[in-house]
Structure formats: C-alpha cells, structure tokens
C-alpha cells in the first residue's frame, strides 16, 4: 500500500505507447481483466448520456480492491487518466471516457460481502446492482431505500459516485443518507477506509465528501449500506387537478401538514396524454392539468390515517377526483404510467432530452410557467414528469436529432431551464450529477471562492489530475468564459480538471 503522502508533482513527459501500457496491465492483472480490441471497446464509449461519445484506450475489469489499486497504480506509473464506470447508466456523462484514458469498470465486482441484519448493514462491492441489495435482505423483511428508476441495472458504485436519488428520496433521502462507509482506492493507488459500521464517526466526514464526487476523488471498492425495515403498509393515491398551481399548492399543503409521504410525483397534461396514448393505462384523466401520485407508507393505521389526510388536503386544494390503491396490483397499475412516461415520450418524439434541476417546493407553479414559456420561445415542447415533493424537476424536451442544429438548441434551452432553477433559489442537479454535461453551469450556482474550495479539495486528493479529469469543474477549454469565471485557471493543471 502506497502512502498518500508520497505525491510526485504532475509530470509533463508523454506516456509510452498504448500497446506497452496494455502489456503492463495484462502482466499485472491477467489477460481476462483487460479489454483492448477496438471493436470490444465500442460498448464502453458512452454512458446513459448518449449524446457524447469517446472510446477509451483500454478497459480494465478488476475483481477486488487489490486489483483496482493495481490498476490505479499503473495509471499513475504511466501518467494516464482513468475513469471509473459501474453499469454505465448515468445521465450526466460521469462515466464518459476521456481521450487516451483507462476505463476501470467495476461490473465484475458483484459480491455482497457481508449482511448484518441486527445492525441493519450490508457491505457490497461496487458492481452490485442496486436492486440486488433489496433482493438479498427482502426475505428477512428489509430493503435498501434509494431507488433510481434504473435500479434493476444501475450499480451501487455508480449510485455512490452520483449520489443517486429516486422516487422515495422525499421520505428516505438520497444515497448519501444510506452510505455509512466506503473503502476507497485513492487516485494515487493507496487504499483508505472512510466511515464504517457506525454512523457519525469522528474526524472529517470523508464518507460524505466521497459520495457524489463522481469518480474524481478515487474509486469505491467496498460500500457499507444501511438497510431499512420494509414498511407494514403502502398506499398510492392518484389526485387530478385542473391547474398546475392547485397541484403545487396541494404538495405544499401535504408537507406543511406534517405528512412525509414516501414520494410525491407530478405529471403535467402533456405527459398524461403521452402516457395514455402509448401505455393506455386508462387511469390518468386526459383533461387534467396535472396529476399527483402520492405514495404513503408506514404502519397500517398510520398509512390509513395519512391517506385520509392527503385526500382531504388534495380536495381542499381543488382535486377533482382521487383514486386510492392499496393492494399491490392496484398500486402497480397507478404507477405504470409514471414509470413508462419516459418511454412514452420516446415513442411520441424521435428524441428527448431529460433535464434535472431542483427548486424550492414553493416555487413550483411559477417555475413550471416559466419553463413552458422558455419552451415556446425556443419552439420545443417540454413535458414535465417529476419528483414534486422534493422540488426535483425533470423537464423532458422533445426534439428530432435528425434536424441539424436541434441538439444544440435543445441544450441551450436545457441550460436556460437550469439558470431558471438557480434563479428560483434551487440547484442545477437533483440526482443525476454534473459529470461532463453540466460542468459549464457550475459557476451559475457557486462563487469563485466556493469553486476554488472544491478544486483545492480535488487537488489534494488527486494532485496529478488523473481521476476522471474534465468532469464537474468548468475549464476554459470546455466552457470558455464560464470556465474562466471559475478562477480555476490559476491551477497548474486547471485545464485537466
């Protein structure tokens, strides 16, 4: 194990040819851990953000902490950047390869290492798929709460990197609230343990710092998760409204009434009709301006009582009709349209672009109006299907990538929506991360001193700029003026970061 204290300065000499580097990886890790054939590398050239593509020079598939450390040490020896990748489902380009980089794929690290039901902990390797955790402990009445919509395919390692959310994060919080510790291969190849089985360890909260750092502070190789007891009862309510304002007021009313549903989702009229055209659930009223789907869980009596209260609050705020689903079949029917909403858009429009921003809940009606106006200005339809309880918007911009210039226009519109979120007192990302997609908007939210503080933290973890460089931080090369504004210019390797 190297010491993190032994930190050479960034080298300016060129690395050897990739054949030489590949040989060293094969020698250290074995042939079956290394992918180097051009056609095999193809599948790794993007993550869920498919509009950007870059083929990595080499892919490594380690199976243990020691193998990840070896891979990172080799990257250090050859001074080549590396990018960590789990299942590659991320939506902000966090796992997008960088030119002439090594992609370290944790997909083969799929072991559940330890289950401690008494202390409600599970220790997993990073390649474990999100839904496997619940499968492993479900029989004993436990589950893992964070549930991104990609949960049957996304990895826990990727969830940690992006601090992923999900439908239930209103009540249960996002990934960082469920990670108690991480074993990390630091950017220099040394191994550190942040946190552990006990919450709130003394010293700096490096676990919290690491979660959401998008592969820039190292690679998690073991993750200690908190699991929860499955609630006794679950109910889903569908409430329909004749105005978005009324639906927004109902959301505020529920929360300020002291009820914390597991989740509150909103769909606007366009999304409702898209879903009914394609999925034909026949549950969603086509003439509603907006519907809310409210999931309530807890003990049987609590769930019944809170359902009654949510129903009353929705009615007081003008809901026309309320459907309540208690058994699993009914619940799945009500959720079906929401879950299929993105796919439905895909059928209605050649392409769509999902944005991810956050606003204070109280700003919902105003912001939705502004989004509609921005869409009209740019000539694009924007559908809204989102986590209303958290104020976490997911505007879907419908477009045709076959039309020259359309992607650029849509990205501009997406950027204006992000600026609107910041103006409303919100954030440029709720749960998808910054990655390569949103780095140029970071100066919208953060002052030069804020950005510099983050950059210094990154610098101290990764003085050579090898761990997923070009992500999160705006640079003059990638963002022009926005990158200048971040003052990162003053770093020796600012343009790498």
What residues from 277 to 336 belong to the interface with a second copy (CB under 8 A)? 298-299, 301-302, 305-306
- Minimum distance, C-beta of residue 374 to a second copy, in the bound complex (Å): 20
Question: Binding residue for a second copy (CB under 8 A) from 154, 434, 467, 479?
Answer: 434
Nearer to a second copy, 36 or 306 (CB): 306
- β-partners of residue 387 are 265, 392
Question: Binding residue for a second copy (CB under 8 A) from 113, 153, 201, 233?
Answer: 201
Instruction: Tell whether residue 192 is a contact of a second copy (CB under 8 A).
Output: yes
Instruction: Tell whether residue 235 is a contact of a second copy (CB under 8 A).
Output: no
Alpha helices in 139-231 (DSSP H): 156-162, 169-172, 206-210
Distance CA 346, CA 344 (A): 5
| Window of 15-23, 67-75, 184-192, 334-342 that interacts with a second copy by CB under 8 A | 184-192
How big is the site for a second copy, counted in residues (CB under 8 A)?
Answer: 89
Instruction: Tell whether residue 250 is a contact of a second copy (CB under 8 A).
Output: no
Nearer to a second copy, 59 or 206 (CB): 206
Question: Binding residue for a second copy (CB under 8 A) from 43, 117, 152, 373?
Answer: 117
Handedness of CA 124, 130, 135, 141 (dihedral sign): positive
Q: Which token pair is 301? A: 């009596």
**Rounded CA Rg of the chain:** 23
Q: Which token pair is 132? A: 């496997």
Handedness of CA 438, 441, 442, 448 (dihedral sign): positive
Instruction: Tell whether residue 359 is a contact of a second copy (CB under 8 A).
Output: yes
Question: Binding residue for a second copy (CB under 8 A) from 204, 328, 404, 405?
Answer: 204
Distance CA 56, CA 45 (A): 7
Instruction: Tell whether residue 230 is a contact of a second copy (CB under 8 A).
Output: yes
Nearer to a second copy, 302 or 411 (CB): 302
Angle at 208 between CA 202 and CA 212, to 5 degrees: 165
Question: Binding residue for a second copy (CB under 8 A) from 10, 196, 318, 476?
Answer: 196
- Minimum distance, C-beta of residue 146 to a second copy, in the bound complex (Å): 12
Strands 392-393 and 357-358: antiparallel
Q: Give the single-character DSSP code of 363.
A: G
Distance CA 25, CA 18 (A): 10
Residues in region 466-485 near a second copy by CB under 8 A: 472
- Minimum distance, C-beta of residue 235 to a second copy, in the bound complex (Å): 14
Instruction: Tell whether residue 205 is a contact of a second copy (CB under 8 A).
Output: yes
Instruction: Tell whether residue 9 is a contact of a second copy (CB under 8 A).
Output: no
Residues in the chain: 497
- Minimum distance, C-beta of residue 176 to a second copy, in the bound complex (Å): 7
- Minimum distance, C-beta of residue 71 to a second copy, in the bound complex (Å): 18
**Spatial contact of 352 and 345, defined as CB atoms under 8 Å apart:** yes
- Provide CB contacts within 8 A for 201, sequence distance 6+: 195, 207
- Minimum distance, C-beta of residue 161 to a second copy, in the bound complex (Å): 12
| Window of 31-39, 98-106, 129-137, 212-220 that interacts with a second copy by CB under 8 A | 212-220
Distance CA 337, CA 267 (A): 10
Residues in region 30-69 near a second copy by CB under 8 A: none
- Minimum distance, C-beta of residue 345 to a second copy, in the bound complex (Å): 24
Q: What are phi and psi of 196, to 5 degrees?
A: 170, -145
- Measured CA to CA in angstroms, residue 76 lies from 11, 73, 154, 467, 492 at distances of 10, 5, 28, 10, 18
Query: What is the contact mask toward a second copy in residues 141 to 160, using x (rule: CB under 8 A)?
Result: x-------------------
| Window of 172-180, 263-271, 277-285, 333-341 that interacts with a second copy by CB under 8 A | 172-180
- Count of beta carbons in the 10 Å neighbourhood of residue 273: 18
Q: Which token pair is 273? A: 């009709």
Nearer to a second copy, 281 or 487 (CB): 487
| Window of 127-135, 267-275, 402-410, 448-456 that interacts with a second copy by CB under 8 A | 448-456
Residues in region 408-427 near a second copy by CB under 8 A: 425-427
Question: Binding residue for a second copy (CB under 8 A) from 237, 364, 388, 454?
Answer: 454
Question: Binding residue for a second copy (CB under 8 A) from 456, 480, 481, 492?
Answer: 456
Instruction: Tell whether residue 233 is a contact of a second copy (CB under 8 A).
Output: no
**Spatial contact of 47 and 95, defined as CB atoms under 8 Å apart:** yes
The helix/strand/coil state of 396 is strand
Instruction: Tell whether residue 208 is a contact of a second copy (CB under 8 A).
Output: yes
- Measured CA to CA in angstroms, residue 489 lies from 208, 474, 476, 480, 492 at distances of 27, 10, 7, 11, 8
What b/e string do you get for 476-488 counting C-beta neighbours within 10 Å, with b at 16 or more? beebeebbebbbb
Nearer to a second copy, 373 or 460 (CB): 460
């Amino acid at each position: 194990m190297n010491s993190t204290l032994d930190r050479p300065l960034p080298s300016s000499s060129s690395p050897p040819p990739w054949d030489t580097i590949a040989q060293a990886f094969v020698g250290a890790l074995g042939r079956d851990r290394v992918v180097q054939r051009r056609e095999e590398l193809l599948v790794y050239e993007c993550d869920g953000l498919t509009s950007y593509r870059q083929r990595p020079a080499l892919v490594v598939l380690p199976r243990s902490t020691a193998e990840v450390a070896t891979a990172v040490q080799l990257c250090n020896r050859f001074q080549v950047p590396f990018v960590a990748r789990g299942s590659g489902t991320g939506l902000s380009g966090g796992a997008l390869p960088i030119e002439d980089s090594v992609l370290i794929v944790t997909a083969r690290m799929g072991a559940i290492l330890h289950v401690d039901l008494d202390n409600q902990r599970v220790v997993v390797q990073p390649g474990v798929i999100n839904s496997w955790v619940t499968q492993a402990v479900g029989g004993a009445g436990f589950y893992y709460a964070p549930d991104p919509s990609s949960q049957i395919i996304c990895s826990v390692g990727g969830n940690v990197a992006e601090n992923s959310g999900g439908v239930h994060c209103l009540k249960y919080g996002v990934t960082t609230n469920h990670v108690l510790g991480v074993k990390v291969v630091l950017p220099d190849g040394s191994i550190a343990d942040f946190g552990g089985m006990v919450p709130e360890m003394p010293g700096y909260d490096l676990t919290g710092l690491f979660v959401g750092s998008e592969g820039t502070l190292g690679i998690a190789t073991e993750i200690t998760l908190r699991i929860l007891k499955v609630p006794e009862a679950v109910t889903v309510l569908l409430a329909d409204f004749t105005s978005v304002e009324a639906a927004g007021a109902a959301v505020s009313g529920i929360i300020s009434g002291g009820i914390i549903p597991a989740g509150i989702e909103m769909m606007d009229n366009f999304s409702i009709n898209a879903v009914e055209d394609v999925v034909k659930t026949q549950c969603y009223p086509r003439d509603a301006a907006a519907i809310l789907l409210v999931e309530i869980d807890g003990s049987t009596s609590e769930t019944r009582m809170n359902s009654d209260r949510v129903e009353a609050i929705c009615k007081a705020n003008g809901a026309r009709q309320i459907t309540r689903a208690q058994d699993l079949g009914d619940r799945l029917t009500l959720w079906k349209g929401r879950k299929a909403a993105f796919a439905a858009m895909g059928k209605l429009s050649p392409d769509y672009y999902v944005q991810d921003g956050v606003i204070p809940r109280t700003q919902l009606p105003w912001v939705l109006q502004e989004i509609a106006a921005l869409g009209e200005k740019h000539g694009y339809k924007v559908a809204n299907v989102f986590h209303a309880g958290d104020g976490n918007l997911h505007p879907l911009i419908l477009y045709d990538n076959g039309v020259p210039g359309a992607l650029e226009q849509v990205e501009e519109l997406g950027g204006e929506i992000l600026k609107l979120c910041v103006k409303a007192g919100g954030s440029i990302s709720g749960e998808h991360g910054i990655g390569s997609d949103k780095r140029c908007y970071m100066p919208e939210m953060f002052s030069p001193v804020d950005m510099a503080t983050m950059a210094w933290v990154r610098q101290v973890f990764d003085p050579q700029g090898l761990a997923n460089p070009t992500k999160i931080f705006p640079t003059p090369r990638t963002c022009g003026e926005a990158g200048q504004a971040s003052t990162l210019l003053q770093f020796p390797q600012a343009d790498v970061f």
